[in-house]
Amino acid sequence: MRGYVVPVAWRLGLVLPLLLAPWLGRADAMARQILFRWRGPLTPPENLVLLGIDEASLDAELADFGPWPWPRAVQATLAREALRKGAKSVVFNIVFAGPSAFGPADDQTFRELLKPWKEKVYLSASYIHQELDGFEQAELRLPQERSYPIGLSQLSLNSFGVVKGIPGSRRLDAMLRHFPLPHPAPLAHVATGVPVPIEERGIDFLGPRGHIPMIPAWSVETVPEAQWRDRIVIVGATALSLGDQLETPFGQQSGSEVLGSAIAGLLSGRGFRHLALGTLVAISAAWLLLCHWRIAASPTALKTVTSIAVLALLSLGITVAAWCSGIWLPGAAFLLVPVVGGSLLATEQFRVETFQRRFLHSVLSRRVSPNLMRNMLRSGADVWTQLGGQRVRCVVLFTDLIGFTARSSAMEPEHLFTLLNRYFEVMAAPVLAEQGLLDKFIGDSVMAEFGVPQHRGDREEALAAVRTALAMQRNLHQLNKELAEEGQEPLRHGIGIHCGDVVAGNLGSSQRLEYTVIGGSVNVASRLESLTRLFPQHSILISREVLDLLSENVRVEALGSHAVKGWPDPIEVFSLIDLID
């Protein structure tokens, strides 16, 4: 059942982020803020200027406008000064709702001062939505003077409360559906004459606070005509003490600065938009198929993780490229498609690979000498998978049971198998304890080498071989005691040890390799073991080469020179009696 669950699980992991895309808006909002900071400020347009009501303009010692809010006639005077000197239009980012607090004459003066430029002045309306004690309260605040073009100053915020864009007609209709027609369009669209799209338009913010050129209200009369001519003038509060501060990707800015970025974007065609639903579905499906194809083609956990990283970087690249082109993509969902789906698959692959590695290690450790296996794992070289060998020097040990062939012919195969395994167990342990290479089991014989694949020096390897042979002798004695208690005949073996040159490497075929050693030295060790039949009282025989290496460390008995098959000259044979500490 698990084999079906895992493929389904990781594939569902690919699809899930796309289904959850609407709930990943906070991540997308954060990413967009980072992109703005990464891109940095843009050059403000030359045809846009702020007429700012800043802290200096509120200072009575510098400007005699009186305390805020100023009379509407004062604000009209400021706008008239800009219009008289050639301003293209004036956009009030101040809502003149209800009658003036300074009386009807103030409203009348406002109308009279701006009457010659009636088509160039734009007033603001605001929409306020509150929830109090479980009740919703919505208010549309329109200016007292309705003969001027009116625009709604409402802006869209993301889930962090950061300004995101200008509402589209769909959202405006939903907000203002309870208010009588006609509904005001967004102020930026009214001021520029750009039609309102159905969906919201993201603002391409120009930069941080103070980036858009500003003329303080107190200095309006001293500004030359060149600074007003053909400019769109936004009149609004910029002083921190007056509030109207909004969070943007570049930090807090006044509402007038945000309006300036919105107007600049509409005039230049810059801005951000969501793709049509059909287009977004098609792109999402293509991305899903690409991720599925790439991840499904990864056979191992490491390659799956690599695919995840590549696809994640690709998703980031696509999202950034789309953002630079003015398109909002669900970047968080696109990023999580390979991350979630691929991680589920990589986790399962890692679990299976870990199990397989443990299993293969367990099998290999019982079929290959641990010393050889450690060297293979440590080196990781191709030499372990290629045919061939190299000349090295090592100590070869052979041990064989004496008279066992006749005994085995009379035994049941099962009993024979069990007895040999018990014998090999006690013979193999000393080889491994001395870091020797347990080469192979041949019938009832054991072949081992000391000095391959790593060599510690001839003398050290010879000592290891001698200690191994003596331990084999002791182990056999203990095994024979156990066999005697079981009513079985004891076992006898012979051991031959020789040191010389061999060729060590992989022997066999490209489909089946065996690491072993071959050469005359192997034959000499085998022949020494065979000579133990001539000397029943001497079960461990060593050659002159071994004795020369250990003359001060071993006690031996010379048995003379003997001709051996396959060797041109007689060899000196010595019986190993004991090891001298």
Q: Which of 145-149, 337-341, 559-563 has the highest mean pLDDT?
A: 337-341
What residues contact residue 53 under an 8 Å CB cut-off, 6+ apart? Answer: 68, 70, 217, 235, 236, 237, 238, 239, 242
> Do residues 372 and 516 make contact, with C-beta atoms less than 8 angstroms apart?
no
Side-chain-facing half-sphere of 211: CA atoms under 13 Å: 21
Computed from CA positions of residues 532, 536, 540, 544, in that sequence, does the dihedral angle turn out positive or negative?
A: negative
Buried b (16+ CB within 10 A) or exposed e, 168-191: bbebbeebbeeeeeebbbbbbbbb
How far apart (Å, rounded) are the C-alpha atoms in residues 77 and 66? 14
Q: Which whole-number Å values give the CA distances from 81 to 139, 218, 374, 469, 556, in the listed order? A: 33, 12, 89, 112, 121
* Residue where a domain terminates, one of 221, 251, 273: 273
135-157 pLDDT tens trace: 778 888 989 888 899 999 999 99
What residues contact residue 5 under an 8 Å CB cut-off, 6+ apart? Answer: none
Both 489 and 569 in one domain: the answer is: yes
Q: What is the mean pLDDT of the chain?
A: 88
Both 345 and 266 in one domain: the answer is: no
Both 52 and 14 in one domain: the answer is: no
Both 141 and 175 in one domain: the answer is: yes
How far apart (Å, rounded) are the C-alpha atoms in residues 508 and 264? 78
The DSSP-derived string for 475-520 is HHHHHHHHHHHTT-----EEEEEEEEEEEEEEEE-SSSEEEEEESH
Q: Is 27 among the domain residues? A: no
Both 546 and 469 in one domain: the answer is: yes
* Residue 496 pLDDT: 94
With bands split at pLDDT 50, 70 and 90, how would you rate the model's confidence at 569? confident
Residue 219, SS3 per DSSP? helix
* Residue 147 pLDDT: 86
53-75 pLDDT tens trace: 888 888 765 667 778 888 999 99
Both 388 and 492 in one domain: the answer is: yes
Residues 119, 123, 125, CA angle at the centre, nearest 5°? Answer: 145
Whether the per-residue pLDDT at 434 is higher than 50: the answer is yes
Beta strands in 134-208 (DSSP E): 135-141, 150-152, 156-157, 163-166, 185-186, 201-202
Both tokens of residue 401?
């049971």
* Residue where a domain terminates, one of 311, 333, 363: 363
Helix axes 458-485, 413-433, angle to 10 degrees: 150
Which domain range does residue 92 map to? 47-273
User: How many domains in the chain?
Assistant: 3
Cis peptide before 453 (omega within 30 of 0): yes
Whether the per-residue pLDDT at 369 is higher than 70: the answer is no
Q: Is 371 among the domain residues? A: no
* Residue 374 pLDDT: 67
Q: Is 253 among the domain residues? A: yes
261-312 pLDDT tens trace: 999 999 999 999 999 899 999 999 999 999 999 999 989 999 999 999 999 9
Q: Is 34 among the domain residues? A: no
Both 63 and 212 in one domain: the answer is: yes
What residues contact residue 309 under an 8 Å CB cut-off, 6+ apart? Answer: none
Residues paired with 399 in a beta bridge: 446, 495
How far apart (Å, rounded) are the C-alpha atoms in residues 275 and 329? 8
Q: Tell me, what amino acid is at 492?
A: R
Q: Is 467 among the domain residues? A: yes
* Residue 385 pLDDT: 55
How far apart (Å, rounded) are the C-alpha atoms in residues 194 and 190? 7
Both 388 and 537 in one domain: the answer is: yes
91-128 pLDDT tens trace: 999 999 889 989 999 999 999 999 999 899 999 999 88
Q: Tell me, what amino acid is at 525?
A: A
Both 135 and 280 in one domain: the answer is: no
User: Per this entry, what is the length of the chain?
Assistant: 581
Both 105 and 241 in one domain: the answer is: yes
Q: Is 40 among the domain residues? A: no
* Residue where a domain terminates, one of 239, 273, 307: 273
460-513 pLDDT tens trace: 999 999 999 999 999 999 999 999 998 888 999 999 999 999 998 877 776 676
Both 310 and 227 in one domain: the answer is: no
CA dihedral 184, 186, 188, 190 (to 10 degrees): -30
* Residue 408 pLDDT: 78
pTM of the full structure: 0.70
* Residue 407 pLDDT: 79
Both tokens of residue 128?
């306020």
How far apart (Å, rounded) are the C-alpha atoms in residues 234 and 232? 7
Side-chain-facing half-sphere of 277: CA atoms under 13 Å: 3
What residues contact residue 410 under an 8 Å CB cut-off, 6+ apart? Answer: none
Residue 157, SS3 per DSSP? strand
Both 530 and 429 in one domain: the answer is: yes
Q: Is 33 among the domain residues? A: no
Q: Is 113 among the domain residues? A: yes
Kindly give the pairing relationship between strand 245-248 and strand 251-254: antiparallel
* Residue 228 pLDDT: 92
* Residue 178 pLDDT: 87
Residue 199, SS3 per DSSP? coil
Residues 315, 321, 322, CA angle at the centre, nearest 5°? Answer: 90
